[in-house]
Copies of this chain bind each other. A is one copy, B any other.
Amino acid sequence: MRWNELDREACSVARTVSVIGDRWTLLILRDCFLRVRRFDDFQARLGITRHILADRLRKLVDDGILRREAYQDRPKRHEYRLTEKGLDLHPLMMALVHWGNVHMDDGAGRPLLHRHRACGHDFDPVTVCSVCGEPVGARDVHVHPGPGDRGPGLIQNGQ
B-binding residues in A (CB < 8 A): 1-3, 6-8, 10-19, 21-23, 26-27, 30, 33-36, 41, 45-48, 82, 85, 87-106, 108-119, 121-134, 136-150, 153-156, 159
Chain B residues contacting A45 (CB-CB under 8 Å) are: 154
**Which residue of chain B has the shortest Cβ distance to A16 in the bound complex?**
B100
Contact of B16 with A104 in the complex, beta carbons under 8 Å: yes
Contact of B89 with A99 in the complex, beta carbons under 8 Å: yes
Chain B residues contacting A155 (CB-CB under 8 Å) are: 34, 112
Question: Could you list 11 A-B pairs, sorted by A, with CB under 8 Å?
Answer: A1-B46, A2-B47, A11-B112, A16-B96, A95-B127, A109-B148, A112-B155, A116-B141, A121-B129, A122-B131, A126-B133
Knowing A1-B46, A146-B111 touch, does A132 contact B118 (C-beta < 8 A)? yes
Contact of A109 with B147 in the complex, beta carbons under 8 Å: yes
Besides A8-B106, A12-B96, 11 other CB < 8 A contacts? A1-B48, A91-B91, A94-B95, A109-B148, A110-B147, A113-B144, A113-B146, A115-B143, A122-B131, A123-B130, A126-B128
Contact of A127 with B127 in the complex, beta carbons under 8 Å: yes
